[in-house]
Amino acid sequence: MKLLMFHAESFWYKPYNSASTETEKTSFENCLVIFIHVEEIDKDKGDVIGKAVGNIKWLADKNKTNSVVLHSFAHLSNSKSDPETANEMIKKISEKLKKNLSAHIVPFGQFYEFSVHVLGPSLAKVFKDL
């Protein structure tokens, strides 16, 4: 599993629809935006969800935010899990995060337009290979 994590001043997304520009944005302020790439091998790694949650909680604490947005992003490695496994693992990560943080999942399986305003400190941009 790969995590590309950003501390964002603001983040919004909306479904991409080439036929219309009239779609509503979903917005967040002072949040972590986590792009998650689930690899084929992750299906058999029992501890990868716990490691992901630990890393996300650590970064949220360091950046003093309790809001997390999880976004499936299958472009951080050549190895990809099947979509069902990726979706399930992201849901499990969200469930565990919700014990301490506010967690939102960008709906799976669609294309999105998005904007992310990443803050400047070094811990505002973190990559983890779990």
- pLDDT of 130: 95
Which range marks the domain in which residue 64 is found? 2-16+25-129
Is residue 57 within 8 Å of 97, Cβ to Cβ?
Answer: yes
Is residue 43 within 8 Å of 99, Cβ to Cβ?
Answer: no
What is the torsional sign of CA 104, 31, 41, 45? negative
CATH classification at residue 29 = 3.50.80.10
Residue 96 CA from chain centroid, whole number = 14
* DSSP element (H, E) containing 50: helix 48-62
- pLDDT of 30: 98
Which amino acid does the sequence have at 26? T
Grade residue 16 by pLDDT with cuts at 50, 70 and 90: confident
Please tell me the number of Cα atoms within 13 Å of 76 on its side-chain side: 20
The count of structural domains within the chain is 1
Burial of 21 by CB count in 10 Å (0-12 exposed, 13-18 middle, 19+ buried)? exposed
Q: What is the pLDDT of residues 68-125, one digit of tens each?
A: 999 999 888 889 999 999 999 999 999 999 999 999 999 988 889 999 999 999 999 9
Task: Give helix then strand counts, H and E, for the chain.
Answer: 2, 6
Average confidence (pLDDT) over 5-26: 86
